[in-house]
Amino acid sequence: MPQPHLQTGLIVANYGRHFLVEDASGERRICHSRGKKSQGVVGDRVLWQASQDEGTIEKIEPRRNLFYRQDEVRTKSFAANLDQVLILIAAEPEFSSSQLSRALIAAEEQHITPIIALNKSDLTTPFARAWDWLAPYRQMGYDVIPLAMGKNTEADRATLLQRLTGKTTLVLGPSGAGKSTLINCLIPGALAQTGELSQALSSGKHTTTSTTWYWLDATKTTALLDSPGFQEFGLNHIDPAQLAAYMPDLKPHVAQCKFYNCSHLHEPGCGVMASVKSGSSPDAISANRYKIYSDLYAELKQIRRY
């Protein structure tokens, strides 16, 4: 019996158990996953088989990475095979330091480069306060960039393209940070097209529930992925014993700990706690960051008791 002809493709959007797959020629069509489980995510390279005007995904190729969050209820995958995550926050409304740190940890765990973008630089006083608050993140080596989306469009576009060109980048951010403005700045009309497609699929029944992939250039070397908003960012998949390794300000001090299995919470001879107490040292861990660590460690430890 002859084998069916399989084509290579890229998942560029997810509509429940329906996927939008782009083939090698750039054409896009709705495909369904084989079987009951819907395992694909945006960014997956797949092998699919055509069937009339639609198709069936037969195989998902191995992933380089998968950026996701996990809480007690479910696992939410954002995208696969990423180079970067652009975490967009704003001077107003005030952003959550815990949510920012959680997103950074999720990126570090999957070896994805994070970029932090602070929007609304036109709001002088709130921006200055937020920029100062981000000083520890700049000291850790994170790329932190100022933006004024919608106010300084051409300069912001140039700043972003400098970092995005040639890469696959997921844009992540809470509501109110300016994510839609950023997407429309880089790809005019993109969000309107996505809304029209959602309406075309069974009169809007299949609204997008995940990330959407956009090409920024005709040669298709630069991709921008728009993710859904989120209120919480669970890290239940992180081993608490590995947590410090995913926090660049804590990681160098772990080697100074007396005990190899130090939790960095109460043990004598802990290099991490010594750094927090040193305060004025250039590479000292800030009290705020240490609190984020200790709170998250306790949360993850509690989860593993059940």
d(C-alpha 11, C-alpha 20), whole Å = 6
**CA 62, 67, 71, 76 torsion: positive or negative?**
negative
d(C-alpha 188, C-alpha 170), whole Å = 17
Token reading at 67: 């950026």
Residue 185 marked ligand-binding: no
Residue 260 CB coordination number (10 Å): 6
Residue 280 marked ligand-binding: no
Residue 181 marked ligand-binding: yes
d(C-alpha 96, C-alpha 102), whole Å = 10
**CA 24, 26, 30, 33 torsion: positive or negative?**
positive
Residue 136 marked ligand-binding: no
Residue 31 marked ligand-binding: no
Cα–Cα distances in Å, from 85 out to 50, 127, 171? 33, 22, 6
Residue 281 CB coordination number (10 Å): 10
Residue 81 marked ligand-binding: no
d(C-alpha 88, C-alpha 154), whole Å = 18
Residue 179 marked ligand-binding: yes
Residue 178 marked ligand-binding: yes
Specify whether the CB–CB gap between 157 and 185 falls below 8 A.
Answer: yes
Residue 56 marked ligand-binding: no
Residue 120 marked ligand-binding: yes
Residue 271 marked ligand-binding: no
Residue 262 marked ligand-binding: yes
Residue 76 marked ligand-binding: no
d(C-alpha 146, C-alpha 81), whole Å = 26
Binding site listing = 119-122, 173-181, 257, 262, 264, 270
Binding residues for GTP: 119-122, 173-181
> Binding site for Zn(2+): what residues are annotated?
257, 262, 264, 270
